[in-house]
């Protein structure tokens, strides 16, 4: 380990990730996809390196400890993404369109998860030699299909000027809620590892325990932050203490309750949402994220990707995975929307609005990757990248076609380039 090398990795990753992110955006893909591709390229360049001659190397390959350090940065990146999502959650809006959106989101999690799990089991030679490790690997793959990308969904609806209509509002609420359900599902799946399916009661109990902790301690801290923002509005200390709370919740979730650390960060964000200084804090979180941690998160996924298992049969799996992920959302969300007073076309639109996947799918992947069987398992990373790229192309196209007739709401500017 050489500390000075870290500066090199940071420079290369930041520049590559941003350049490929911008290229992706240019050709109509989300930046996230470009950053993952940048990571894959950096990882491949690592194989071309000549350890004895820096100038003959395309990229110095990080040693094990240096990779650990990049991993820490990546973990902080994903924790910041979820903390920011939590901060931006509008609990009032959620309550309003809550009932229908909740059921739509729930169906949109269960159907793709079920389809993904069954599909993966079929690819792992079916039920004939069903066993617990296999099942965990398969249900983990299914869980990746759970969460819609709020970012991509919001961007598409903004571009179409449909963010504030009835359909748009329902899609947005359901997309936010399925993040929560997806993360809870991941927590349950991850903690199953330790004790098999019999542990499920214990796991739910621990999840409940963490929610009680998070809400209890969260309310006390919220009172403190309310006092602080009135006495010292817009001070650095508020953001720094909020950061501290985020990291503390992430730590406590995983250390004492066996729940994924991103769940802790997300709940920390929700507990601080809707305060006067919430936007102030969120801006600092976003800046700290995009300046260094989130590009590393997305690239790290690519850098650490293992393509050695890629072949025709994996390609078939990946395409099935993508198809199930898209069909599962349209069926699950669309059919559930129907009884809530949506027309047939509107129901299909709600379903199509939920198919985009993005950063949360990668977050779920990176939190649960230890569930992949070391031998004979299926690593869904490449399939997940396919899913993100394809779903974020397909989602805007379908929405544009379905929304073609009437306009509601106003397009907003986007300045994230």
Q: Is 291 in the site for its own copies (CB under 8 A)?
A: yes
Q: Is 40 in the site for its own copies (CB under 8 A)?
A: no
d(CA 147, CA 39): 23
Find the shortest distance in angstroms from Cβ 34 to its own copies.
12
| Window 353-392: contact mask with its own copies (x via CB under 8 A) | ----------------------------------------
Pick between residue 147 and residue 250 the one whose CB is nearest to its own copies.
250
Q: Is 41 in the site for its own copies (CB under 8 A)?
A: no
Q: Which two tokens stand for residue 144?
A: 């990746």
Q: Which two tokens stand for residue 106?
A: 């729930």
212-241 residues in contact with its own copies (CB under 8 A) are 232, 234-237, 239-241
Pick between residue 175 and residue 214 the one whose CB is nearest to its own copies.
214
Stretch that binds its own copies, among 2-10, 39-47, 163-171, 332-340 (CB under 8 A): 2-10
Q: Given candidates 28, 126, 196, 244, which one binds its own copies under the rule CB under 8 A?
A: 244
Find the shortest distance in angstroms from Cβ 412 to its own copies.
17
HEC secondary structure over the chain: CCHHHHHHHHHHHHHHHHHHHHHHHHCCCCHHHHHHHHHHHHHHHHCCCCCCCHHHCCCCCCCHHHHHHHHHHHHHHHHHHHHHHHHHCCHHHHHHCHHHHHHHHHHHHHHHHHHHHHHHHHHCCCCCCCCHHHHHHHHHHHHHCCCCCHHHHHHHHHHHCCCCCHHHHHHHHHHHHHHHHHHHHHHHHHHHHHHCHHHHHHHHHHHHHHHHHHHHHHHHHHHHHHHHHHHCCCCHHHHHHHHHHHHHHHHHHHHHHCCCHHHHHHHHHHHCCCCCCHHHHHHHHHHHHHHHHHHHHHHHHHHCCCCCCCCHHHHHHHHHHHHHHHHHHHHHHHHHHHHHCCCHHHHHHHHHHCCCCCHHHHHHHHHHHHHCCCCCCCCCHHHHHHHHHHHHHHHHHHHHHHHCCCCCCCCCCCCCC
Stretch that binds its own copies, among 4-12, 95-103, 144-152, 337-345 (CB under 8 A): 4-12
Find the shortest distance in angstroms from Cβ 339 to its own copies.
43
d(CA 146, CA 141): 10
| Window 5-24: contact mask with its own copies (x via CB under 8 A) | xxxx-xxx-xx--x---x--
293-352 residues in contact with its own copies (CB under 8 A) are 295
Say if residues 383 and 322 touch (Cβ distance below 8 Å). Answer: yes
Question: How many residues belong to the chain?
Answer: 417
**Residue 12 CB partners (closer than 8 Å, separation 6+):** 42, 59
Q: Given candidates 225, 247, 257, 297, which one binds its own copies under the rule CB under 8 A?
A: 247
Find the shortest distance in angstroms from Cβ 88 to its own copies.
18
Pick between residue 248 and residue 393 the one whose CB is nearest to its own copies.
248
Q: Is 122 in the site for its own copies (CB under 8 A)?
A: no
Find the shortest distance in angstroms from Cβ 235 to its own copies.
6
Pick between residue 69 and residue 103 the one whose CB is nearest to its own copies.
69
Q: Is 290 in the site for its own copies (CB under 8 A)?
A: yes
Q: Given candidates 110, 292, 373, 394, which one binds its own copies under the rule CB under 8 A?
A: 292
Q: Given candidates 143, 261, 349, 391, which one binds its own copies under the rule CB under 8 A?
A: 261
Number of residues that bind its own copies (CB under 8 A): 52
55-114 residues in contact with its own copies (CB under 8 A) are 65, 68-69, 71-72, 75-76, 79
Pick between residue 343 and residue 416 the one whose CB is nearest to its own copies.
416
d(CA 218, CA 212): 9
Q: Given candidates 114, 251, 314, 340, which one binds its own copies under the rule CB under 8 A?
A: 251
**Interface ranges with its own copies (CB under 8 A):** 1, 3-8, 10-12, 14-15, 18, 22, 54, 65, 68-69, 71-72, 75-76, 79, 232, 234-237, 239-241, 243-245, 247-248, 250-251, 254-255, 261, 284-285, 287-288, 290-292, 295, 415-417
């Amino acid at each position: 380990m050489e500390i000075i090398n870290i500066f090199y990795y940071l420079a290369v990753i930041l520049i590559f990730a941003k350049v490929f992110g911008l290229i992706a955006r240019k050709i109509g893909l989300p930046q996230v996809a470009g950053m993952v591709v940048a990571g894959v390229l950096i990882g491949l360049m690592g194989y071309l390196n000549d350890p004895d001659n820096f100038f003959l190397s395309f990229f110095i390959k990080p040693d094990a400890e240096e990779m650990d350090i990049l991993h820490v940065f990546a973990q902080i990146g994903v924790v910041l993404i979820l903390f920011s999502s939590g901060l931006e959650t509008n609990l009032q809006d959620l309550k309003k369109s809550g009932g229908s959106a909740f059921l739509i989101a729930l169906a949109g999690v269960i159907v793709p998860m079920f389809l993904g799990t069954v599909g993966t089991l079929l690819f792992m030679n079916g039920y004939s030699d069903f066993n617990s490790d296999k099942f965990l690997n398969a249900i983990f793959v299914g869980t990746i299909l759970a969460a819609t990308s709020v970012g991509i969904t919001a961007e598409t609806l903004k571009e179409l000027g449909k963010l504030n209509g009835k359909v748009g509002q329902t899609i947005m609420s359901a997309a936010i809620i399925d993040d929560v359900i997806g993360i809870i599902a991941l927590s349950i799946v991850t903690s199953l590892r330790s004790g098999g399916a019999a542990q499920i009661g214990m796991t739910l109990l621990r999840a409940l325990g963490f929610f009680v902790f998070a809400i209890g301690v969260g309310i006390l801290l919220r009172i403190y932050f309310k006092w602080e923002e009135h006495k010292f509005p817009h001070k650095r200390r508020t953001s720094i203490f909020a950061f501290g709370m985020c990291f503390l919740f992430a730590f406590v979730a995983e250390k004492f309750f066996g729940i994924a650390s991103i769940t802790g960060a997300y709940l920390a964000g929700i507990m601080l949402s809707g305060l006067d200084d919430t936007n102030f804090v969120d801006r600092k979180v976003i800046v700290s994220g995009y300046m260094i941690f989130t590009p590393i998160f997305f690239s790290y996924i690519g850098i650490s990707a293992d393509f050695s298992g890629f072949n025709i049969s994996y390609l078939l799996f990946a395409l099935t995975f993508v198809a199930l992920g898209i069909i599962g959302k349209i069926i699950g969300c669309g059919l559930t929307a129907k009884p809530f007073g949506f027309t047939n076309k509107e129901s299909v639109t709600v379903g199509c609005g939920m198919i985009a996947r993005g950063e949360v799918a990668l977050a779920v992947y990176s939190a649960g990757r230890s569930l992949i069987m070391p031998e004979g398992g299926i690593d869904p990373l490449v399939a997940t990248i396919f899913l993100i790229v394809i779903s974020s192309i397909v989602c805007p196209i379908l929405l544009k076609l379905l929304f073609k007739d009437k306009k509601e709401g106003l397009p907003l500017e986007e300045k994230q380039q």
